[in-house]
Amino acid sequence: MPAYAVIGGQWGDEGKGKIIDYLAGKVKAVVRYAGGNNAGHTVINDKGTFQLHLIPSGICWPGVYGIVGNGVVANPDVMLDELNQLESRGIDVSNVYVSERAHVIMPYHIVQDNLEEKARGSSAIGTTGQGVGPAYVDKVSRGGVRFSDLLELDSLSQKLEYTIQFKNKIFTRVYDGDEVSFEDVLKRCRDWAEWIRPHIRSTDQLIHDLLDEGNDVLLEGAQGTMLDIDHGSYPYVTSSSPTIGGACTGLGISPQSIAGVLGVFKAYSTRVGGGPMPTELHGQAAENLREIAHEYGTTTGRARRVGWFDAVAGRYSRIVNGMTGIVLTRLDILDGFDTVKICNGYRANGHEIDRFPSNTDLLAQCEPVYEDFPGWDTPTSGVTTWEALPENAQNYVSRIQDLVGCPIQIISTGPNREETILRSPVIGQ
Ligand code: GDP
Ligand code: IMO
Ligand code: MG
């Protein structure tokens, strides 16, 4: 039995957590493959409301493994905090594992992230400040700390002594910042080693076994396609591959084991941090949508930038990931608008552009070309069947399906697990 990927189709925060929680009752494991605790995934069900940054969003289902794969970078403090919070609310976390190959976000990565952002000035990326970028840089430059290293403290101590000396030179001489203390960092590692040992595992082998035994597995994307280090609007991106390729390298599974790729899209667009967003709304129009939608970041609390649905970016996202189906979330947010819009092309320097540009400067110059649709007065909020949606909402959804070029299999009409329309089954088909 195969794996199914759930991937952000836009700039993150599409509602992946809700959809994973909705689907996870049918699978044996939910696995994170990329990103780190820059993610913030909201899950709302009969057990309560959960903001998950690292622990996979299937955790509320008993007996479902929650696996943090090798492609993830993780802050053990955030992981412990999340495990404790879940346990205190009666959720079983004994099946949560982190790959021995996953990289640790060290305290100096967080310092570095914030010093680098400050130094970027007006070109700041608007990172989440969680140390994710610097942790990936150290991974790629082969100076990182892996979870397995936390179990070998003597050799880790030697490595850290060198690393921290080097980091401190940069922090003080380049950024005019403060030193981090080697002793403090080593103590943190000792504290982590005490509780984390039972959670560290060869997760690639575990996932291979689960698949070989005939179980279905959900691959939980973090961030979104337009934030991909290669395919997003570089340099205004995250430092990992949220797209489907990242799922294979971030878990050690083959593309053949993935039977379906679900792209999650909001019925409109949002983005946190810097970088171009062609359909962005400004002024009162933006305020209205942001307040109705309550668009504030789960991880940082920042106001999210908002705009209309971008089908040019959507098509690109579908192609990059080989999406087999779409999940459209937050349709209810558009209830009551007189007119709703879909961007179906860009215009820049007097030219029409219908493919998503790889040149970020060109993308920043793109003006959206919109199709207008009449809104709907009858609320979609909480609706659970396609037939019960107002006709204008059906037309809007169908047009997104046609323009992105992929069947919309699930429509979400509210944050709760049940507020969902399943148009065609996605698991076990
Ligand atoms: P993620 O990072 O992709 O998991 O998304 P976030 O959790 O950061 O942001 C999505 C927000 O939308 C959360 O507050 C969810 O509870 C909420 N949400 C998800 N689906 C729906 C929906 O269909 N309607 C409404 N109104 N809210 C939704
Ligand atoms: P989920 O999984 C939205 C954005 C940051 C910033 C850029 C780089 O909840 O969808 P980083 O800290 O990764 O170096 O920041 O990426 N970003 C996200 N935006 N949702 C996320 O995750 C994000 N994770 C990172 O705002 O623009
Ligand atoms: Mg989020």
Structural domains of the chain, count: 3
Residue 218 scores a pLDDT above 60:
yes
Asked whether residue 149 falls in the same domain as residue 186, the answer is yes
pLDDT for the residue 429: 54
Residue 268 scores a pLDDT above 60:
yes
Asked whether residue 22 falls in the same domain as residue 63, the answer is yes
| Percentage of the chain modeled with pLDDT above 90 | 97
Mean pLDDT of the chain: 97
Q: Are 297 and 38 in contact (CB under 8 A)?
A: no
Asked whether residue 370 is assigned to any structural domain, the reply reads yes
Asked whether residue 296 falls in the same domain as residue 414, the answer is yes
Owner of token pair 């691959």: 219
Asked whether residue 428 is assigned to any structural domain, the reply reads no
Asked whether residue 427 is assigned to any structural domain, the reply reads no
Pocket of ligand 1 from Cβ distances under 6 Å:
8, 12-18, 40-42, 44, 298, 329-330, 332-333, 412-415
Q: Are 251 and 219 in contact (CB under 8 A)?
A: yes
Q: Average pLDDT in the 319-330 region? A: 98
Which CATH number is 235's domain given? 3.40.440.10
Q: Euclidean distance between the first and final Cα of the chain, in Å? A: 10
Asked whether residue 292 falls in the same domain as residue 347, the answer is yes
Asked whether residue 308 is assigned to any structural domain, the reply reads yes
Residue 297 scores a pLDDT above 90:
no
What pTM, to 2 d.p., does this model score?
0.97
Cis preceding-peptide flag for 235 (omega within 30 of 0): yes
Which CATH number is 149's domain given? 1.10.300.10
Among 152, 174, 196, which residue terminates a domain? 196
- For residue 115, the 8-state DSSP code is H
Asked whether residue 258 is assigned to any structural domain, the reply reads no
Q: Average pLDDT in the 334-342 region? A: 97
Asked whether residue 86 falls in the same domain as residue 217, the answer is yes
Ligand lying closest to the C-alpha of residue 15: 1
Asked whether residue 376 is assigned to any structural domain, the reply reads yes
Asked whether residue 257 is assigned to any structural domain, the reply reads no
The response to whether residue 225 sits with its C-beta less than 6 Å from ligand 2 reads: no
Residues 166 and 184: their CA atoms lie apart, in Å, by 16
Asked whether residue 165 falls in the same domain as residue 29, the answer is no
Residues 229 and 77: their CA atoms lie apart, in Å, by 26
Among 175, 196, 217, which residue terminates a domain? 196
Asked whether residue 299 falls in the same domain as residue 390, the answer is yes
Asked whether residue 363 falls in the same domain as residue 308, the answer is yes
Angle (CA) 114-139-199 rounded to 5° is: 95
Please give the residue that has the higher pLDDT: either 427 or 167: 167
Asked whether residue 358 falls in the same domain as residue 318, the answer is yes
Which CATH number is 280's domain given? 3.90.170.10
Residue 171 scores a pLDDT above 90:
yes
Of all protein residues, the one whose alpha carbon is nearest to atom 11 of ligand 1 is: 15
Asked whether residue 235 falls in the same domain as residue 298, the answer is no
| DSSP labels, 282-339 | -HHHHHHHHHHHT-B-TTT-PBPEEE-EEHHHHHHHHHHHT-SEEEEE-GGGGTT-SE
Q: Is 13 a catalytic residue?
A: yes
The response to whether residue 39 sits with its C-beta less than 6 Å from ligand 2 reads: yes
Categorize the per-residue pLDDT at 300 as very low, low, confident or very high, splitting at 50, 70 and 90: confident
Q: Is 208 a catalytic residue?
A: no
pLDDT for the residue 301: 84
Pairing of strands 367-374, 420-422: unpaired
Residues 76 and 46: their CA atoms lie apart, in Å, by 28
Asked whether residue 282 falls in the same domain as residue 177, the answer is no
Asked whether residue 429 is assigned to any structural domain, the reply reads no
**Residue 299 domain boundaries:** 263-422
Residue 1 scores a pLDDT above 70:
no
Give the H or E element holding residue 22. helix 16-23
The single residue of 21, 41, 53, 228 carrying the catalytic annotation is: 41
Q: Average pLDDT in the 169-189 region? A: 98
Asked whether residue 344 falls in the same domain as residue 396, the answer is yes
| DSSP labels, 254-267 | -GGGEEEEEEEEES
In the reported structure, the alpha carbon of residue 153 is separated from the centroid of ligand 2 by a whole-number distance in angstroms of 32
Categorize the per-residue pLDDT at 89 as very low, low, confident or very high, splitting at 50, 70 and 90: very high
